[in-house]
Structure 1
Amino acid sequence: MTRIKRVMTHKAKSRGETLMGYKIAVLGATGNVGQEMLSILAERAFPADEVVALASRRSQGTEVSYGDRTLKVKTLDTYDFKGTDICLMATTGAMSAEWAPKIAAKGCVVIDNSSRWRMDADVPLIVPEVNAAAIAGYTKKNIIANPNCSTAQMVVALKPLHDAAGIRRVVVSTYQSVSGAGKEAMDELFTQTRAIFVNDALVNENFTKQIAFNVIPHIDDFMEDGQTKEEWKMTVETKKILDPKIKVTATCVRVPVFVGHSEAINIEFERPISDEEAREILREAPGCLVVDKHEDGGYVTPIECVGDYATYISRIRVDPTVENGLNIWVVSDNLRKGAALNAVQIAEILGARYLKKAA
């Protein structure tokens, strides 16, 4: 019996209950995020009696890893969700639009990683370190939304600072890895990089321009006002998760990094806050890890955050050009805190506070 399961069972026995484990489905189990979900469920010893890997028909029978076990992927079309407690979805928005309501209608709570349900008023949009209490709203549709990867790590860093000094305005520039665009995008970066060294022709399929040794100030579709959908997501999701009064403007850039998103964030506060105060607040904040030395290498870069759970914060300094201004540098593994880890954390709270299976 895993350590977490032992602890839960001990607490249950003290109340005269016997807790059972959950049945979990991971939909999109063959993709980058789905595989991370399976890995994190195992790493964190999620109290599951059964974990089912699901994908489309073309992936049926594919093997995926779940801790030290191997799972054979089952097809979504023929899987019966009755009796499944939680479904972690790592699919497209179109697939989520079709399947999430069907799955939820079977009594299975959907935790969706796509953008489809994030701005639905009846669906809670959750980052556990920021607004865990809002999970209670899942009963309206039996669906909980995971935010955009760039939003998730930013609000983890902003929340404790907002509580301390009240954030008025945020200006953020992102440096987002290609893994945020999927496995094919990662393959394109690798292929283009190799092609440059061997003098082969470069092919752009997943990006509008060459990504190897380049940066592209364009993520998702352009909107009428000139911003991209990714930039819009950061604005509206931050307002829904953290505070609707905060003004947010973003410039989202794809960079030739395989995993790990970075963000340069300029924050204007309502009340004075020094860099040292901010540093101490963030050191104590859940999910945050401060690495901020004023010396060569005294900061965190994307390659150092890969495989970790934390949201790293560096380069904390006063912005003297605005009243009550600070600059911070935020880095996180986008496949983990930006997607899979956040979903598993939601599932942990959902199980512990709301579902509470008892025999």
Structure 2
Amino acid sequence: MEYNVAVVGATGNVGQEMLNILNERLFPVKEAFAIASRQSIGREVSFGDRTLKCRDLETFDFSQVQIALMAAGGSVAKEWAPKIARTGAVVIDNSSHFRMDPDVPLVVPEVNAEAVRGFAKKNIIANPNCSTAQLVVALKPLHDAATIRRVVVSTYQSTSGAGKEAMDELFNQTKGIFVNDEPTPSAFTKQIAFNVIPHIDVFMEDGFTKEEWKMTVETKKILDPKIKLTATCVRVPVFVGHAEAINVEFEKPITDDEAREILREAPGLLVVDKREDGGYVTPVECVGDFATYVSRIRVDPTVENGLAFWCVSDNLRKGAALNAVQVAELLVNRGLLKAAA
């Protein structure tokens, strides 16, 4: 059986990755459609060895597709996801708009695959925040083994998480510094080249940023509402790949050796943890990979039943495009979609 698939926002970083991953994972695509804004009509994007010309979001007939992967931002998703869903297509949305809607499942296939069945209420499934996705993939098997009480996480998030203009800003500022050009922030609030910025998304009344809030509430929705989590989210001068330093307190005893073996057997994870120079994975090394990597697993002696570890993942992939395609695969493998005529 094959399916017609539309990628909305096909000219952006995540949209292009969605097309790449559909092709790489041999998703049963009968016909693929690249959808974008009116300004991008006719622009060409790659889909394997094929070239697709972008169609206009406002005039495209979504009744001809079974799956719509959306990577066009919250405002577009708010307006268009319900419209597309009403045509019969299942929308898998990468924006934050529907994540906390109680009638929209928030799905990470390695963590809460069963939740995907809830899509029927609105024909919409939400993708989590990029930093949340890799976090819960790593937490899930440990939670099953020893029950997580509390998580403290600090993120080191790449500029690609803020879009192409943010990546360009890092490139231009880095290049400019070498010729004594004064860095001028635009996509970010402060200089990003050779710097880190402890500020992602808007500030909230309690002093946390919305990115930090997202990690807290999304982890509760996906994994367990009883988990207490606090996050500090930081933008770093890296093009692709998010890293996280994670401290976890458990209800039951768990050793670092036990955790290492549990994580090695878990889906979507690769453990690279040698206690020697270079015996860990960095963001540069995870780019282009499907896996979430875990390194530096060790006992946290400051709390009872505590562990600390390091986690990295390609944020354009597991944090966005890959997760969306995996959700589409869930729908297909569980027989929840009708094939294309």
Q: Is contact 2:66-2:338 (8 Å) kept?
A: no
Listed as ranges, the matches of 1:128-167 within 5 Å are 128-167=109-148
2:163 match: 182
Residue 39 (structure 2) pairs with residue 58 (structure 1): yes
Whichever residue aligns with residue 214 of structure 2, its letter is: K
1:224 match: 205
Structure 1 residues 158-213: Cα deviation after superposition (integer angstroms, max 9, x where no partner) = 00000000000000000000000000000000000000001112111100000000
2:339 match: 357
Q: How much is the aligned-residue C-alpha RMSD, in angstroms?
A: 0.8
Q: Is contact 2:65-2:340 (8 Å) kept?
A: no
Q: Is contact 2:34-2:55 (8 Å) kept?
A: yes
SS at 2:247 equivalent: strand
Report the number of matched residues. Answer: 340
Q: 1: CA distance between counterparts of 2:158 and 2:64? A: 37
Q: 1: CA distance between counterparts of 2:339 and 2:18? A: 22
Whichever residue aligns with residue 275 of structure 1, its letter is: D
2:228 match: 247
Residue 30 (structure 2) pairs with residue 30 (structure 1): no
Q: More displaced, 233-242 or 343-352?
A: 343-352
1:11 match: none
SS at 1:187 equivalent: helix
SS at 1:267 equivalent: strand
**Unmatched 5+ residue regions in structure 1?**
1-19
Q: 1: CA distance between counterparts of 2:63 and 2:230? A: 43
1:288 match: 269
2:108 match: 127
2:97 match: 116
Q: 1: CA distance between counterparts of 2:102 and 2:306? A: 32
Residue 308 (structure 2) pairs with residue 332 (structure 1): no
Q: 1: CA distance between counterparts of 2:101 and 2:276? A: 45
SS at 1:125 equivalent: coil
Q: 2: CA distance between counterparts of 1:303 and 1:67? A: 24
Q: 2: CA distance between counterparts of 1:21 and 1:94? A: 31
Whichever residue aligns with residue 43 of structure 2, its letter is: T
Which 4+ runs in 1 deviate beyond 6 A?
none
Listed as ranges, the matches of 1:72-83 within 5 Å are 72-83=53-64
Residue 356 of structure 1 and its aligned partner are, at CA, apart by 4.7
Identity %: 77
Q: 1: CA distance between counterparts of 2:333 and 2:244? A: 32
Q: 2: CA distance between counterparts of 1:330 and 1:152? A: 11
Whichever residue aligns with residue 161 of structure 1, its letter is: L
Residue 358 of structure 1 and its aligned partner are, at CA, apart by 8.0
Residue 23 (structure 2) pairs with residue 21 (structure 1): no
Instruction: Specify which of 222, 236, 240 is matched with residue 259 of structure 1.
Output: 240
TM-score (norm 2): 0.99
Structure 1 residues 224-254: Cα deviation after superposition (integer angstroms, max 9, x where no partner) = 0000000000000000000000000000000
Whichever residue aligns with residue 191 of structure 2, its letter is: Q
**Unmatched 5+ residue regions in structure 2?**
none
1:316 match: 297
Residue 179 (structure 2) pairs with residue 198 (structure 1): yes
Q: Is contact 2:71-2:94 (8 Å) kept?
A: yes
TM-score (norm 1): 0.94
